Amino acid sequence: MSDSMQLPPAVVVADAEFATATKELAARFPAFDLHCLAAGQSPAELASRRIVGLVAQDVTVDSAYLAMLPDLRALIKLGRNYANIDADAVRQRGLAFGAVARKGPNCVAELAMTMILALSKDLLISHQSVAEGAYRLRGLRPEPTAQWKMAFHWMRHMRLHEVYGKRLGIVGMGEIGYELARRANVMGMDVSYTKRRPLSDEVERSVGVRRAPLSDLLRESDYVCLAVPHTTETERMIGATELALMKSDAYLVNICRGGVVDEDALIDALRSGRLAGAGLDVFTYEPLPADSPLCQLDNVILTPHVGGGSGTTRAGELAIALEELQQVLGGAAPQIDLGRAR
């Protein structure tokens, strides 16, 4: 029997950012010889190990990468957006192929969808008008209600609408954008996205999106959600020129980083009515200064950078993937099974 066959089965985490988390979790998965690749390290450097399982978040896994893992039996994608995985190559190898959702992107996508729904119902003004008894300004008085007797829509807010049938444009289609697209599709929205590298046809179909240039996306969308990292390339990528492309009844939602937007230009657009409204969880300065004009606008929903929800850790997210991998290597089907083309 070869030395490799005498070793315990090895599981490799492909993304170097999980190095510390992998060490923390080793005791929880004693059946595996856990390894996390260092930045730039090839799985071929672990050729002496019998690697049966792979967890990958952002690392590109293609046929060449898989060729370095001859004993591989299962691949678990950490996150449901599998654009970085050559799905055909995985399936040709006959590997078990699944994914697990990540808490972090899910939380941010939930907030983005909450913003969209709240803006569609003019939620802040609706609450304020009820709490302050603004019905009196319309000459109304409270009366008992019944099944067929009620003061339907008594404040007649003009910005109220449904999101069903509206177009959502997502700037950036990473894990957050993918999770938001899933939720928007359930709500009956038409979803487009812009991204430097297009998704494969299969991944686009899996979440029901189509790619569009940024200018077209801005012109066509009823809601635009920003879900890109803040880099030198995305610094103030949405400024006066871009905002002018948007429809006057459209809304901007920013749940990524404040520096992606020219905040002064956004304030001007909101004040002038060139833009219907905005939902903002992030700002140029945080906390948002109390004297910011944004605090005085009634067409903006502001939250204190709560997109990450109650918080998560790399160890917490990796543990979910390793638990799923353990089940799959034990013979169970992946809970999110990507083994067949979608």
Indicate which residue of 257, 263, 314, 317 is catalytic: 257
Sign of CA dihedral 243, 245, 250, 254: negative
167: annotated active-site residue: no
Indicate which residue of 138, 235, 286, 342 is catalytic: 286
Tokens of 220: 């066509």
Sheet of strand 277-280, all strands in order from the earlier edge strand to the far edge = 209-211, 190-194, 167-171, 223-226, 251-254, 277-280, 300-302
Chain centre to alpha carbon of residue 230: 15
230: annotated active-site residue: no
Three-state DSSP class for residue 53? strand
DSSP codes of every residue in 178-240: HHHHHHHHHTT-EEEEE-SSPPPHHHHHHHTEEE--HHHHHHH-SEEEE-----TTTTT-B-H
* Long-range pairs of 150-156 with CB within 8 A, sequence gap ≥ 24: 155/126, 155/129, 155/130
Burial of 112 (0-12, 13-18, 19+ CB in 10 A): buried
153: annotated active-site residue: no
Q: How far apart are CA 199 and CA 194, in angstroms?
A: 10
Q: How far apart are CA 205 and CA 189, in angstroms?
A: 15
Indicate which residue of 91, 161, 211, 305 is catalytic: 305
Write out the catalytic residue numbers: 257, 286, 305
